[in-house]
Structure 1
Amino acid sequence: MVSAVAQLLRQGLPVTSATAPPVLLDLRGVVARAVDPADTASRTAALNGTLRGLLARFPDARLAPAARALFGLLPAGPGLNLTARRDVAAEQVGHEVHHFRKRVEPRLVEKIAWELLADADRFTRTPMIAPRLAPVTVRQPVPADPFAWEVTEHEEQLTRLWSALYAARAELLAVERLVSLRANRIDLIHAAVTAAWRWALARAEAIDYTTAYRAEAGTSVDVLIALTGWTPRLAEAQASRLTEAAVGGASREQFVHALHHETGLGNAWVDGLLDQEPRATAIHENGPTQ
């Protein structure tokens, strides 16, 4: 795996179908993201997206700019050869180029390889994958038949589940982006509350789906909701309280109103999500309650 990632350095990103090592194209996380898993070009596009995502979230903040530059992303410019990219990468961490190539570069390549394997492992352990959508150009009426009704209802609920999971994922990503931008606390709280609402809606959908289709789901509510991304650790009672406030497809305003006086829950979610010291923060729209 390390040698396969090292091969990518010669050309950098984006990877092409001609230069993509087969072992990387066969990774579970890459195959799962490909629009057409049987098509090499589709898997190559998925590999590029996966690598860009991993480099964007490189876990070592000090080495992250160097890792991105080495693979041809900013702060390196497009079209640079490996020697030029290596110069930029070494400059980012304040090392002489020879030292960087011998000591730092192998660590970066090894870390990317490890992250790709970890990504593949997460997909391997996920029993459910979001259904792919295909263009529909003509109406497909549902026959007046009990079996057709059951199949359609299952597809409907499955679609609602994944819609809710992706919506929650989007809001959690928005929070992480605002935290990185060091946005003001009012904007951060607003985003965190929106994320709580979407997360609670997703959890409610996950409960409904796993209850109605236990055999098809083959997994638990906790596993499904974990697909939305990292969230602060909540007690079971706290998670249930958030979910209760969102049951029935509650609007954001209804959700906020239902939890207006839940100061302890606000502390656990908002400050936990924003990675700040706990303070008295009920879930409402007027900022923290000191």
Structure 2
Amino acid sequence: MPRKGPALDEVVPAVRRLLRRGLPVIPSSASTVLLDLRGVVARAVDPADVTSRATALDGTLRGLLARFPDDRYASAARALFGLPPAAPGQNLTVRRAAAAAEAGHEVHHFRKRVEPKLIEKVTWELLADADRFTRSPLIAPRLAPAPARQPVQPDPFAWEVTEHEEHLCRLWSAIYAARAELLTVERLISLHADRTDILRTAVTAAWRWASARAEAISYTTGFAPPQLEASVSELVAVAGWAPPLTEAQASRLTEAAAGAADREQFVAALHGETDLGNAWTGAFFTHSASRAMTHEQNGQQS
């Protein structure tokens, strides 16, 4: 059983303390309560090393701030913590002024009214991230350098263990490949890239996502340990947000990607299935439009 996570009132002071120096995080600026968050520990190369966990915390915060859920204050939150439009090494007074300017507020009002809410929001995001790692048994296996060749002994047990590791590596390789393409689509949409480029990348993301799903099915069917209480959908969800599909649509994509099909084979296998293509690619633009509308509404309310 995972231990109970820290409460909001424990983490807020720790985030406030971290804010004094800003990013990048160093061990002396990070409280233990932050370094012990499950999402931070899981990302650390060496969880027992405080410097490694500080590096993981820095990366976690950068990722959360890059995807800050409140578009109205996203740029201000980043500046407050020392990310562009602010610069590393600037003191809190300078960063606060930059953040207030980004938010369109006078500095005193920003410090009293807005900054505490941004700190609380960052705290909530850190706790939500930790909760996702706490609830999920799905953490990619860490790899270490091999100092020498590691031959497999000619023994049925050794073959079974090695085959299991092979499939586990293929699974996580496919999941990370899918995540990379899904992130690329979101980045291109954010950049207002040419629609043709976005669509091409979305198709690549569909291929990678379907390949990951095929690997997840293969792994859970033949190699998943009994204690892994995760479905195929939960495994693939680790790659990130993907367009919502019906079970039949997801199965059709998976079928087209099965057998290590390359992108061209995947596209050829789905030739003429316009409705399925629109369900996948169209969802990215719908999702983006919804976010833009929310941003506009927030701007009108402020």
Task: Give the TM-score of the pair, scaled to structure 2.
Answer: 0.90
SS in 1 for 2:240: coil
Q: Is 1:85–2:95 an aligned residue pair? A: yes
CA contact (8 A) 2:35 2:41 kept: yes
Alignment of 1:108 with 2:122, yes or no, is no
- 5 Å-filtered alignment, 1:161-240, equals 161-214=171-224, 215=226, 217-240=228-251
SS at the partner of 2:20?
coil
In structure 2, what is the Cα distance between the partners aligned to 1:273 and 1:250? 24
Q: Match of 2:29, SS?
A: coil
In 2, Cα distance between equivalents of 1:162 and 1:192:
20
Amino acid in the other structure paired with 1:200: A
Alignment correspondent of 1:280 = none
Q: Does 1:258 align with 2:269?
A: yes
| 8 A contact 1:188–1:274 mirrored in 2 | no
Q: Does 1:128 align with 2:138?
A: yes
Match of residue 142 from structure 1: 152
Query: 1:17 touches 1:41 (CA, 8 Å); kept in 2?
Result: yes
**Structure 1: distance between partners of 2:157 and 2:27:** 43
Gaps (5+ residues) in structure 2? 1-10, 289-302
Amino acid in structure 2 at the alignment position of 1:63 = Y
> Higher mean Cα deviation, 129-138 or 211-220?
211-220
Inter-partner Cα distance in structure 2 for 1:75 and 1:81: 14
Partner Cα separation in structure 2 for residue 177 and residue 147 of structure 1: 45
1:72 is paired with a residue of what secondary structure?
coil
CA change 1:240–1:146 in 2 (3 A) is same
Residues in 1 aligned to 2:15 and 2:142: alpha-carbon distance in whole angstroms: 29
Q: Quick check: 2:24–2:88 contact (8 Å CA) kept in 1? A: no
Task: Say which is worse superposed, 26-35 or 1-10, in terms of deviation.
Answer: 1-10
Question: How far 1:62 moved relative to its partner?
Answer: 1.5
Moved more, 120-129 or 211-220: 211-220
Cα distance in 2 between the residues matched to 1:163 and 1:38 = 26
Q: Does 1:268 align with 2:255?
A: no
Contact 1:67 1:108 in 2 (8 A): yes
Q: Report deviation, 1:276.
A: 6.8
Q: Deviations over 1:165-208 (max 9, x none)?
A: 00000000000000001111110110000000000000000000
Aligned residue in 1 for 2:108: 98
1:274 is displaced (CA, Å) by: 2.8
Q: Contact 1:169–1:229 at 8 Å: present in 2 too?
A: yes
The Cα shift of 1:137 comes to 2.5
Q: Which amino acid aligns with 1:34?
A: A
Aligned with 1:92: secondary structure? helix
Instruction: Structure 1: state its 5+ residue gaps.
Output: 278-290
Check the 8 A contact 2:23/2:88 in 1, yes or no.
no
- Decide which of 18, 33, 52 is 2:43's aligned counterpart: 33
Partner of 1:20: 30
Equivalent position of 1:65 in the other structure: 75
Is 2:159 aligned against 1:153? Answer: no
Shift of 1:107: 0.5
Count residues with an aligned counterpart: 278
Task: Point out 4+ residue stretches in structure 1 off by more than 6 angstroms.
Answer: none
Could you give the per-residue CA deviations for residues 125-180 of structure 1, whole angstroms, max 9, x where no partner exists? Answer: 21121011111131110000000000000000000000000000000000000000
Instruction: Answer 1 or 2: higher relative contact order, Cα 8 Å, separation at least 6.
Output: 2
C-alpha contact 1:209 1:217 (8 A) present in aligned 2: no
Q: Which amino acid aligns with 1:242?
A: L
Query: Which letter does structure 1 place at the counterpart of 2:235?
Result: L
**TM-score, scaled relative to structure 1:** 0.94
Letter in structure 2 aligned against 1:263: T
Which has a greater percent of helix?
A: 2
CA contact (8 A) 1:189 1:270 kept: yes
Identity between Structure 1 and Structure 2 (%): 70
